[in-house]
Amino acid sequence: MIAARLSRRDLMRGLVAVSVAAEAVWSEALAAAEAADGAAQVPSPFDFPELDVAPASETHHVAEGYDADILIRWGDAVLPGAPPFEPGRPDPAAQTKQFGYNNDFLGFLPLDGRPDHGLLVVNHEYTNGELMFPGLGGRSDRDGGFASVTREIVDAEMMAHGGAVLEVRREGGKWHVVPDSKYARRITAETEMTISGPAAGHHRMRTAADPTGTRVRGMLNNCAGGITPWGTWLTCEENFNGYFWSKAAAEPLTPEARALRRYGAPAEWYAWGRFHDRFDTLKEPNEPNRFGWVVEIDPFDPASTPVKRTALGRFKHEGAGNVVNGDGRFVIYQGDDEQFDYVYRFVTDGKVDPASREANRDLLDSGVLSVARFHADGTGEWLPLVHGRPNKDGQVWLTEAYGFKDQGDVLIHTRLAADLLGATKMDRPEDIDVNPKTGKVYLALTNNTKRKADRTDAANPRASNAFGHIIEIIPSDGDHAADTFSWNILIQCGSPAIAEVGATFNPATTENGWFGMPDNFAVDADGRLWVTTDGNSPRKTGRADGVWAIETEGPRRGASRCFFQVPVGAEMCGPCFTPDLETFFVAVQHPGETEL
């Protein structure tokens, strides 16, 4: 994880840029005229010196005028008594006190309102055995029976999952993790959690270890997330299917096996099922149903029990971008990251109480989950996933006749329910975030090379979509709880220099400024979109993954600029500003993992 801090020199540069713009009498009229003439002529108040993109490098790079420092790495101490890191040696007990890795989401929660002192919450998405334990081989090498995987290796992998709460502080211009903080916490694949909401206690959630269906150990493959206005951390379980044995559990095609298959489970990416019966679906068929949820964690209380909020649905959650609606209800936008899967929205029944943290404790347990349908005319609708409710044509899909006895079934098998309603199959929905300035909602579609020409649609218009795109969703009348929305494509990604790619960056974008595979977002206080990418490489785009900053309004809408690049084989994640916009935290995920 890297904190890039604006230097004083750069702040000066920013002020200079703003004053130049003012001298140019940058009025609405001029801007409109310039838009007609070509956006490249319009001076921008958003004027950091663009980074020259590189195809591959052993280290990270940040735009000139910014400092980038490493804050914490895999194996560094999180809890008191953490032993020194010994790379290559599986040590589950040590790993429970040490930082995990493959960090996707970063959230900063100020302490005492301070921008230079707060809690940083971080997920630990997954482990790469081949990078952790030299000689072990990759996941696919282990398909033959995981012959060389020991109990210690499995347990070390389990302890490297989950997440961490860190207390961080900036002193003398540098950020550091506060040692032995009273807030410090490690959450692992064994941490006790509760299950709440409509699917809690459901017969499909019960196991031998938990006959109540209300308690579960651990969270798996947590990817991106969100921070609530009441100061909790939403962390989202994504590819939970990979942890379960055995593929034989998906045969024959019973209703349970059909549901497992819809989630790609069991995928056998890890050997956990050899040593822990709950990860063997033949022995514990309901355990996969207890993963794939959004988990709410109170980072201010390290003794608090994380809660899986089932009302938000079960799928391969990317993140939980959110907004307090004008009427006070809380709205969470969610992507299901799979080729041809869906975009969801959850609206609480109750309103956020800004005066009482306690009053919001279980706000996320009741509300309406909906899935998006994008129409070709630039409108769209949210289809409610509510048991027994007729759609606008009077048809009732979510009933026992179609396999849904109750709302618990709808939520546990969210993907199957969304299939029935006719939601739009998207090109891998990743982050979805709200612009605090305009209320517009941005949706990252990373890519989908499996989309054939005869399966394109207005919202996913490119066959074999290798580079992805960004959709802008505009809630009707500014109401994030409305049944309808309008939408457009902000950018089709890829190289603008290759006509067949069909990229649509603003022409002001330079050769450094374009990118492919948008993944995570941060929107700054001025409404600009900061995009981190997953999948750029020398072979695919001639550039490493990184951070690109995009203007979202005005004549330079869609103009993009490179700010930061990761080391080779890494993916860029976790964009997160401190409230004073002085610091930008990012996460460098799995350096060395992917091919060039």
Residues near ligand FEO (CB under 6 A):
104, 125, 223, 238, 318, 337, 430
Q: Tell which one of 268, 341, 534, 551 touches Ca ion (CB under 5 A).
A: 534
Look at strands 185-187 and 192-196 and give their pairing.
unpaired
CB of 155 to Ca ion, least distance (A): 23
Q: How many C-beta neighbours within 10 Å does residue 145 have?
A: 9
Chain centroid to CA 20: 37
Residue with tokens 């891998």: 428
CB of 430 to ligand FEO, least distance (A): 5
Nearer to Ca ion, 365 or 430 (CB): 430
Distances (CA, A) of 39 to 83, 505, 554, 560: 56, 11, 9, 12
Site for Ca ion contains 545 (CB under 5 A): no
Gyration radius (Cα) of the chain, Å: 23
Nearer to ligand FEO, 123 or 196 (CB): 123
Distances (CA, A) of 418 to 262, 340, 534: 12, 12, 27
Residue with tokens 């900053």: 549
Nearer to Ca ion, 237 or 430 (CB): 430
Q: Which of residues 274-313 bind Ca ion (CB under 5 A)?
A: none
CB of 431 to ligand FEO, least distance (A): 8
Distance CA 548, CA 541 (A): 14
Distance CA 259, CA 236 (A): 20
Nearer to Ca ion, 284 or 430 (CB): 430
Nearer to Ca ion, 44 or 322 (CB): 322
Amino acid type, 272: W
Q: Can you name the residues that pair with 576 across neighbouring β-strands?
A: 585
CB of 78 to ligand FEO, least distance (A): 21
CB of 80 to ligand FEO, least distance (A): 30
Distance CA 285, CA 301 (A): 33
> Pick from Ca ion, ligand FEO, none: which does 336 bind, CB < 5 to 8 A by kind?
none
Site for Ca ion contains 338 (CB under 5 A): no
> Pick from Ca ion, ligand FEO, none: which does 365 bind, CB < 5 to 8 A by kind?
none
Distance CA 467, CA 56 (A): 18
Nearer to ligand FEO, 242 or 496 (CB): 242
CB-CB contact of 548 with 508 (8 Å)? no
Residue with tokens 């005319």: 377
> Pick from Ca ion, ligand FEO, none: which does 237 bind, CB < 5 to 8 A by kind?
none
CB of 543 to Ca ion, least distance (A): 16
Site for Ca ion contains 519 (CB under 5 A): yes
Stretch that binds Ca ion, among 85-93, 148-156, 305-313, 512-520 (CB under 5 A): 512-520
CB of 333 to Ca ion, least distance (A): 14
DSSP 8-state symbol, 155: H
CB of 372 to ligand FEO, least distance (A): 17
Site map for Ca ion, 372-411, x if CB under 5 A?
----------------------------------------
Instruction: Dig out the tokens for 299 from the structure.
Output: 């980072």
Distance CA 163, CA 166 (A): 10
Look at strands 174-177 and 162-171 and give their pairing.
antiparallel
Nearer to Ca ion, 50 or 430 (CB): 430
DSSP SS3 for 221: coil
CB of 338 to ligand FEO, least distance (A): 9
Distance CA 530, CA 520 (A): 8
CB-CB contact of 234 with 294 (8 Å)? yes
Nearer to ligand FEO, 34 or 318 (CB): 318
Q: Is the peptide bond before 246 cis (omega within 30 degrees of 0)?
A: yes
> Pick from ligand FEO, Ca ion, none: which does 238 bind, CB < 5 to 8 A by kind?
ligand FEO
Distance CA 128, CA 171 (A): 34
> Pick from Ca ion, ligand FEO, none: which does 545 bind, CB < 5 to 8 A by kind?
none
DSSP SS3 for 334: strand
Stretch that binds Ca ion, among 16-24, 345-353, 365-373, 517-525 (CB under 5 A): 517-525
Nearer to ligand FEO, 430 or 472 (CB): 430
Nearer to ligand FEO, 125 or 167 (CB): 125
CB of 125 to ligand FEO, least distance (A): 6
Q: How far apart are the first and last CA of the chain?
A: 22
Nearer to ligand FEO, 126 or 404 (CB): 126
Nearer to ligand FEO, 329 or 590 (CB): 590
Chain centroid to CA 10: 30
Nearer to ligand FEO, 236 or 250 (CB): 236
The DSSP string of 573-589 is EEEEE-TTSSEEEEEEE
Q: Tell which one of 268, 409, 427, 430 touches Ca ion (CB under 5 A).
A: 430
CB of 327 to Ca ion, least distance (A): 31
Nearer to ligand FEO, 343 or 398 (CB): 343
CB of 319 to ligand FEO, least distance (A): 8
CB of 164 to ligand FEO, least distance (A): 17
Look at strands 583-589 and 117-124 and give their pairing.
unpaired
Nearest residue to 344 via CA among 378, 383, 306, 379 = 383
Distances (CA, A) of 176 to 10, 73, 104, 171: 22, 12, 19, 8
What percent of the residues of the chain are helix, what percent strand, and what percent coil, each to the nearest 5?
Answer: 20, 30, 50
Distances (CA, A) of 103 to 200, 332, 578: 29, 21, 18
CB of 337 to Ca ion, least distance (A): 6
Q: Can you name the residues that pair with 126 across neighbouring β-strands?
A: none
Q: Which residues of the chain form contacts with Ca ion (CB under 5 A)? A: 430, 519, 534
